[in-house]
C-alpha cells in the first residue's frame, strides 16, 4: 500500500470509529466534520428519495437537527444516525448537505 492509500484507510477508520452505528456510508472527509453548516440553533435536513433506485418516488424524509452550538457536519451526522436515517438505495454515500433555504438542507448522496 502506498502512502495515499494508507492515509485513505486511516481516514475511513476514523469515520467508522466516530460514527459506528451509521446505516449509510459517510463520504464527507474527516477533516471537514467540524465545518459549520449553520449558525442557527435548529435546522431541517431533507432526504428526497426520488432516484431511479426506487420503482416509484418515496416520501421525502425530514429530520430536525438542533444544537446550542453551531451546527456542523458532525452534529448533523450524529443526529441523523440517532434518528435512524437508513438510506436503502445504491446512493447511500452521504457527501454533504445542500442549502435549500435559511434553515433547510437536503442530503447530497452518491454511489
What is the pLDDT averaged over residues 93-111?
Answer: 93
Average pLDDT rounded to a whole number, residues 76-104:
91
pLDDT tens per residue across span 24-69: 999 999 999 999 999 999 999 998 866 666 677 778 899 999 999 9
Q: What is the pLDDT of residue 91?
A: 66
Question: What is the chain's mean pLDDT, rounded?
Answer: 90
Is the separation of the CB atoms in 84 and 17 below 8 Å? no
Q: Supply the pLDDT for residue 4.
A: 84
The residues, any chain, with a CB within 8 Å of residue 105's CB and separated by 6 or more, are 37, 38, 43, 44, 45, 46, 76, 97, 98, 99
9 DSSP assignment: H
Q: Indicate the pTM of the whole model.
A: 0.89
Separation CA 29–CA 6 (nearest Å): 15
The answer to whether residues 46 and 104 touch, using CB atoms and an 8 Å cutoff, is: yes
Amino acid at each position: 500500500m502506498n502512502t495515499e492509500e494508507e492515509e485513505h484507510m486511516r481516514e475511513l477508520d476514523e469515520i467508522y470509529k466516530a460514527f459506528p452505528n451509521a446505516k449509510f456510508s459517510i463520504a464527507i472527509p474527516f477533516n471537514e466534520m467540524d465545518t459549520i453548516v449553520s449558525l442557527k440553533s435548529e435546522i431541517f435536513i431533507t432526504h428526497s428519495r426520488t432516484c431511479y433506485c426506487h420503482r416509484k418516488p418515496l416520501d421525502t424524509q425530514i429530520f430536525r437537527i438542533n444544537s446550542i452550538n453551531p451546527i456542523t457536519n458532525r452534529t448533523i451526522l450524529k443526529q441523523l444516525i440517532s434518528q435512524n436515517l437508513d438510506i436503502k438505495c445504491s446512493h447511500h454515500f452521504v457527501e454533504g448537505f445542500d442549502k435549500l433555504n435559511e434553515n433547510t438542507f437536503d442530503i447530497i448522496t452518491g454511489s
